[in-house]
Structure 1
Amino acid sequence: MTYSLRIADLPLSERPRERLLAVGAKNLATAELIAILLSTGQGKGKLSAIGLGQHILQQLSQNRRDSLDALRDVKPQELMQIPGVGPAKAATIVAAVELGKRTFQFRPHERAVIDNPAAAAAALSQDLMWQNQERFAVLMLDVKNCLIGTQIITIGTATETLVHPREIFRESIRQGACKLIVAHNHPSGNLEPSEADIELTKQLLLGAEYLDIPVLDHLILGNGNHQSLRQLITTLWNPD
């Protein structure tokens, strides 16, 4: 795609807004999503909105930092240093990023039903999803999978957190939980479980069997995504 070509001069099928309506936001490149927020580029003969979106990402990725990671914490003043980005465009981008954060930070009310990995990840996103340190948390459920409470068990370093099964079960017994979902985050965004993650899951399953408090899943969260160790192993969610 020619980044100096005005969006108005593109075929309808290639314009970001029309593509979003036709194929969905998930299928657009990040530069296209930013272009929708920008509406216009740098002006005649310069970068189009899509080109400016790509340029913004390139500027944010300096110093080998991931552009999306930088975008998550960007300040309006940083964006306004980029030619073609004034206060209105900077404010629009920052507002969109903040709105996205808030949708991930929504905490369900107590007694909400948590019956699949996505619901569990949503319930834990405020505590785990965007943290720069590893945290280990537990969702405590009643016999009908309704949420009793959420508890952060430990906070570790940027690369690891240490937790013992007894700390998890102690809090769960205190709150009268019938079932558990445990989770921790990977600040790097890499959702692949480590050997330590798998070993801890095995220990928890053994403890759960002894105490008769089922552990329904062990989730790994990071950068807007989640991984279910249960689904990874069995490809099924079966809380019973």
Structure 2
Amino acid sequence: MTYCLRIADIPLSERPRERLMAQGAKNLATAELIAILLGTGQGHGKLSAVGLGQYILQELSQHQRDPLEMLRDISVQELMKIPGVGLAKAATILAAVELGKRAFQSRPGDRTTIDSPAAAAAALSHDLMWQVQERFAVVLLDVKNRLIGTQVITIGTATETLAPPREIFREVLRQGATRLIIAHNHPSGSLEPSEEDINLTRQLLIGAQYLSIPLLDHLILGHGEHLSLRQTTSLWDEYPQGD
């Protein structure tokens, strides 16, 4: 066994975590990715985490097998047969493998299409519908109105919340969305938009025009019901979104 270098002896520029931060995960070797999962502690035969990662790959590649192919379907018990891999390390590796599978399987083509106010309200129901405090959220969409995700931007009191346009569009840009729907809840159950709701919608429509990121609607949710400001106001006629 030749992998005896301690992590403290490795130059900062060559340490897995530092390299990931500087160069991105895709530029790391498989052994380095495993090393990040395992941490910097000592493994089998006082190996560094990098050394243990390399050793695990060597063990998995016995009999000319592809170690990554082996990892796709390996069990905790099989991993624990490798010297230096206990339950905690095996569980960490398998959790990462499963997460990778799910991320890969969640392809854009499988995303839910948000094609109506009801569909958008359903996507936000858990976060907004029955909350006792006002919450402001955004539905993030791609160019085909497919759901990228939802995000609660702010949480207020029982009667009001603040949603700075800057924070909303920052999240939209960060997530790479090309369209959005905004929404907030009224804990009282009344769906009547306030003057503040109208003014905020107007500001966001202007910002969306400037950024060329169409704002498709502003929903108010409460007590199992929802209201679309696009359907009940003339704001979208005043500030066309080109959608």
Per the alignment, do residues 183 and 233 of structure 1 end up closer, same or farther by CA in structure 2, a change over 3 Å counting? same
* Contact 2:202/2:235, CA 8 A, preserved across alignment: no
Tell me how far apart the structure 2 counterparts of residues 155 and 171 of structure 1 sit (CA, whole Å). 15
Give the alignment's Cα RMSD to 1 decimal: 2.2
Does 2:196 match 1:196?
A: yes
What amino acid maps onto 1:197 in structure 2?
D
Alpha-carbon distance, 1:135 to partner = 0.1
Counterpart residue number, 2:208: 208
Tell me how far apart the structure 2 counterparts of residues 184 and 148 of structure 1 sit (CA, whole Å). 18
Counterpart residue number, 1:116: 116
Alpha-carbon distance, 1:208 to partner = 0.2
Tell me how far apart the structure 2 counterparts of residues 110 and 199 of structure 1 sit (CA, whole Å). 36
Name structure 1 gaps, 5 residues minimum: 1-108
Counterpart residue number, 1:164: 164
Tell me how far apart the structure 2 counterparts of residues 153 and 166 of structure 1 sit (CA, whole Å). 11
* Contact 1:129/1:221, CA 8 A, preserved across alignment: yes
Tell me how far apart the structure 1 counterparts of residues 219 and 205 of structure 2 sit (CA, whole Å). 14
After superposition, the C-alpha distances for 1:45-78 in whole angstroms (9 at most, x for unaligned) are xxxxxxxxxxxxxxxxxxxxxxxxxxxxxxxxxx
Alpha-carbon distance, 1:163 to partner = 1.1
Does 2:143 match 1:140?
A: no
Per the alignment, do residues 145 and 208 of structure 1 end up closer, same or farther by CA in structure 2, a change over 3 Å counting? same
Tell me how far apart the structure 2 counterparts of residues 151 and 126 of structure 1 sit (CA, whole Å). 12
Secondary structure of the residue aligned to 1:158 is coil
- State the TM-score, normalizing by the size of structure 1: 0.52
Tell me how far apart the structure 2 counterparts of residues 196 and 235 of structure 1 sit (CA, whole Å). 14
Counterpart residue number, 2:230: 230
Secondary structure of the residue aligned to 1:151 is strand
Tell me how far apart the structure 1 counterparts of residues 223 and 143 of structure 2 sit (CA, whole Å). 31
What amino acid maps onto 1:215 in structure 2?
L
Per the alignment, do residues 187 and 217 of structure 1 end up closer, same or farther by CA in structure 2, a change over 3 Å counting? same
Alpha-carbon distance, 1:213 to partner = 0.5
Secondary structure of the residue aligned to 1:152 is strand
* Contact 1:155/1:161, CA 8 A, preserved across alignment: yes
Tell me how far apart the structure 1 counterparts of residues 232 and 110 of structure 2 sit (CA, whole Å). 28
What amino acid maps onto 1:116 in structure 2?
S
What amino acid maps onto 2:215 in structure 1?
V
Per the alignment, do residues 175 and 202 of structure 1 end up closer, same or farther by CA in structure 2, a change over 3 Å counting? same
**Regions of 4+ moved over 3 Å:** none
Tell me how far apart the structure 2 counterparts of residues 194 and 111 of structure 1 sit (CA, whole Å). 33
* Contact 1:216/1:239, CA 8 A, preserved across alignment: no
- State the TM-score, normalizing by the size of structure 2: 0.52
Per the alignment, do residues 189 and 239 of structure 1 end up closer, same or farther by CA in structure 2, a change over 3 Å counting? farther
Matches within 5 A, 1:41-120: 111-120=111-120
Matches within 5 A, 1:23-34: none
Alpha-carbon distance, 1:233 to partner = 1.6
Secondary structure of the residue aligned to 2:163 is coil
Which structure's CA Rg is the greater one? 2
Secondary structure of the residue aligned to 1:128 is helix
* Contact 1:110/1:149, CA 8 A, preserved across alignment: no
What amino acid maps onto 2:124 in structure 1?
L
